[in-house]
């Protein structure tokens, strides 16, 4: 059977990096085994639905190169791929379970359920439905429905024994059946619950592997009991570790954690994001860190998914992104980085701007940083950091280095990097100074920064007049 995985997000807003990692693992699971990647939208929670979220999800997947083989935006023979358009399907299968005795109609109103919750809170135990309607005869239940009573359909859980399964990542998982609540399958508004719709859709869409977060490990037996009731074969479960933040908390939409478009808008490259996220909870066989998406498709193995949480570290992502920026050819880099340049370049030649941006190519970890590292080229004033000030006052020879360099710069008639380097060499030889005591004072005084690209290129871009003015401050 051909491997088929699905990414089934809810259209409740932007995609944070945890969602994207889930989509990536589902995609790589399929592609590593020659299978198909399906996009399904789980929009049964109509209250949380956000306008435009589906388009955003599709654009996000397209932006990072996760091509959808079937589903929303691609079509296919197992549609519709919006759960809100499959309500009759869910109702039919829920009614089948009622006929079999594996589900029942429940008429408990919110007032009664709230009282049960209050009792559970008072006893300091988790709330579970008490099965009050489980033994209502089917004919009586149908008469009450015909009379207009509101109802839900609940799954009838076994009260004895154990349900177990083998998870690809976590091994054998066992759950005592008496801990499983008679969960709702169809809500009073006719919409299915998340758990029920997933089982029906995964079966009807021939999903072979289900990738999802490990928070569902203990609830998977509910799914398996539904598969058993229908006489269906269950898919392979691949419960992957959560993506957590440095403080140990879970990445969440509700907490407005980093989302893909935030990263893109700041100047993170999609290739870098995908490469980094692939390594959050998965370890390749070979000792390497940089992979193209195509290389990930070939190297990915679900058996190498870790059970430990993946820690999302923005500094590590910046390191990956800096690598990918350096790998861009200059033409593509210039086209990309200029989208993030907000400084006023009017009055500057295109040649000068291009040279400036290329000079600082290896000194940024995201696009928006270009403004910070080159801002002193666009102003006549700059403020030195305390670290810079302390260094300039650290050795008496520093003042001599600066004075000598001023005299050497004044002599340059043909302003180019060769002559600037010659001026630096003359300072070195005449004062017998080198290393930090030579280069760092000149860089600090000329540009306002302690670190940066080649000193000759930096001074060339500043220009003779501005360099002298800065050195004399």
**40 contacts 75 by C-beta, under 8 angstroms:** no
- Answer whether 37's CB lies under 8 Å from 243's CB: no
β-bridge partners, 6 = 38
**Beta strands 103-106; 36-39: pairing state:** unpaired
- Residues counted in the chain: 473
Sheet holding 70-71, edge to edge: 4-7, 36-39, 70-71
Told to judge if 253 belongs to the known catalytic residues of this protein, a careful annotator would answer: yes
What are the C-alpha distances in Å from 138 to residues 83, 107, 240, 315, 385? 28, 12, 41, 60, 79
> How many other CB atoms are there within 10 angstroms of residue 390's CB atom?
10
**Phi, psi (5° rounding) for residue 288?**
-150, 160
Q: Which of 250, 253, 316, 355 is catalytic?
A: 253
- Select from 112, 88, 109, 104 the least CA-distant residue to 185: 104
Tell me which residue of 93, 24, 36, 89 sits closest to 63, measured CA to CA.
24
Q: Give the chain's end-to-end CA distance (angstroms, integer).
A: 75
Q: Which of the residues are catalytic?
A: 253
């Amino acid at each position: 059977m051909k491997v088929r995985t699905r990414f089934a997000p809810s259209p409740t807003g932007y995609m944070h990096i945890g969602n994207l990692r889930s989509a990536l693992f589902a995609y790589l699971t399929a592609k590593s085994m020659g299978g198909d990647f399906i996009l399904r939208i789980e929009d049964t929670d109509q209250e949380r639905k956000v306008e435009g979220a589906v388009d955003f999800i599709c654009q996000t997947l397209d932006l990072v190169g996760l091509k959808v083989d079937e589903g929303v935006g691609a079509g296919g023979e197992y549609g519709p791929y919006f759960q809100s358009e499959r309500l009759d399907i869910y109702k039919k299968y829920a009614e089948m379970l009622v006929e079999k005795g594996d589900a029942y109609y429940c008429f408990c109103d919110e007032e009664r359920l709230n009282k049960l919750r209050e009792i559970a809170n008072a006893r300091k135990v988790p709330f579970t439905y008490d099965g009050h309607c489980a033994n209502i005869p089917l004919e009586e239940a149908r008469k009450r429905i015909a009379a207009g009573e509101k109802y839900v359909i609940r799954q009838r859980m076994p009260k004895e024994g154990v349900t177990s399964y083998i998870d690809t990542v976590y091994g054998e998982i066992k759950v005592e059946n008496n801990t499983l609540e008679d969960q709702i399958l169809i809500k009073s508004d006719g919409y299915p619950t998340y758990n029920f719709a997933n089982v029906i859709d995964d079966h009807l869409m021939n999903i072979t592997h289900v990738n999802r977060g490990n928070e569902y490990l203990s609830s998977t037996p509910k799914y398996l009991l539904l598969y058993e009731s229908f006489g269906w074969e269950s898919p392979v479960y691949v419960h992957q570790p959560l993506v957590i933040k440095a403080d140990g908390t879970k990445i969440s939409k509700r907490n407005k954690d980093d989302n893909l478009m935030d990263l893109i808008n700041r100047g993170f490259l999609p290739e870098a994001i995908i490469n980094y996220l692939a390594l959050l909870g998965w370890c390749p066989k070979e000792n390497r860190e940089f992979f193209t998406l195509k290389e990930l498709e070939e190297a990915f193995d679900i058996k190498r998914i870790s059970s430990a949480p993946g820690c999302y570290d923005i500094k590590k992502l910046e390191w990956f992104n800096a690598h990918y920026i350096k790998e861009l050819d200059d033409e593509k880099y210039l086209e990309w980085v200029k989208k993030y340049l907000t400084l006023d370049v009017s009055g500057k030649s295109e040649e000068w701007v291009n040279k400036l941006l290329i000079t600082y190519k290896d000194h940024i970890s995201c696009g928006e940083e270009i403004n910070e590292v080159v801002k002193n080229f666009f102003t006549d004033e700059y403020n030195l950091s305390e670290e810079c000030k302390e260094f300039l006052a650290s050795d008496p020879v520093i003042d001599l280095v600066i004075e000598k360099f001023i005299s050497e710069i004044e002599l340059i008639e043909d302003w180019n990097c060769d002559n600037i380097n010659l001026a630096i060499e003359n300072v070195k030889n005449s004062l017998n100074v080198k290393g930090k005591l030579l280069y760092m004072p000149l860089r600090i005084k000329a540009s306002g920064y302690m670190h940066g690209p080649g000193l000759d290129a930096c001074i060339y871009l500043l220009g003779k007049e501005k360099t002298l003015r800065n050195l004399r401050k």
